[in-house]
């Protein structure tokens, strides 16, 4: 990630007892999204793979739930690696980020007409990310430590649960 996108996705920084940063994951639409038949999607109920969220242990698949011509929900599938139990330190940092209001259980998605949602990949990405910003949903990366390797927890927030997984991120030259 470039440094400008790192700053753009930065949500918060706080000390606990070390410096902790909270960043929003980046949504990347699938390349074939423009090939979908919007007229067929407008009828019936569908779950559509629309892209993935990057910034954690793996790209997390993102799906849109379509009912009666509207996208009624967007949800992120948890990585298999996220099933591992977090260390006590990681649990304490996630708890502190939650206490400070950076990790909230997401509210209901505001329905969006299928024709508007799937009008372009860029438009869809804006709608998905803005829905996450207002409702507190989506995926967040919480990192702490110093030096070239940071410890990070990658959390995806859904209506009913919070899935978190541990990952180490290299941000500098390890051999310096």
More confident residue, 148 or 41: 41
70's enclosing H/E stretch is strand 70-76
pTM of the model: 0.73
Residue 27 lies in a domain: yes
Residue 39 lies in a domain: yes
* 83-138 pLDDT tens trace: 567 889 999 998 998 898 887 766 667 888 999 999 888 888 877 766 665 455 56
Residue 175 lies in a domain: no
CB 71 within 8 A of CB 153: no
* Average pLDDT score over residue span 43-64: 82
Q: Give the confidence band of 173 by pLDDT, cuts at 50, 70, 90.
A: low
Provide the number of structural domains found in the chain.
Answer: 1
Residue 40 lies in a domain: yes
Print the domain residue range for 105.
3-170
CB 118 within 8 A of CB 41: yes
Question: Does the pLDDT value for residue 66 go beyond 90?
Answer: yes
Residue 19 lies in a domain: yes
Residue 47 lies in a domain: yes
18's enclosing H/E stretch is strand 18-24
Position 14 scores a pLDDT of 93
CB 154 within 8 A of CB 141: yes
The CA angle 56-62-42, to the nearest 5 degrees, is: 165
Residue 176 lies in a domain: no
* 1-33 pLDDT tens trace: 334 445 667 888 999 988 999 888 778 888 888
Residue 61 lies in a domain: yes
Q: Is residue 99 classed as helix, strand or coil in its secondary structure?
A: helix
């Amino acid at each position: 990630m470039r440094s400008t996108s790192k700053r753009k996705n930065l949500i918060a920084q706080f000390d606990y007892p070390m410096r902790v940063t909270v960043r929003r994951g980046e949504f990347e639409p699938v390349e074939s999204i423009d090939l979908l038949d919007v007229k067929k999607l407008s009828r019936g109920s569908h779950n559509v793979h629309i892209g993935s969220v990057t910034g954690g242990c793996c790209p997390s698949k993102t799906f849109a739930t379509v009912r009666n011509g509207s996208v009624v929900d967007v949800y992120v599938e948890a990585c298999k690696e996220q099933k591992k139990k977090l260390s006590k330190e990681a649990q304490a940092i996630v708890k502190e980020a939650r206490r400070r209001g950076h990790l909230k259980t997401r509210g209901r998605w505001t329905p969006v007409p299928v024709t508007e949602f799937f009008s372009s990949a860029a438009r869809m990405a804006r709608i998905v990310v803005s829905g996450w910003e207002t409702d507190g949903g989506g995926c967040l990366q919480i990192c702490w430590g110093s030096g070239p390797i940071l410890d990070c927890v990658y959390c995806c927030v859904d209506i009913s649960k919070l899935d978190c997984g541990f990952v180490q991120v290299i941000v500098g030259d390890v051999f310096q």
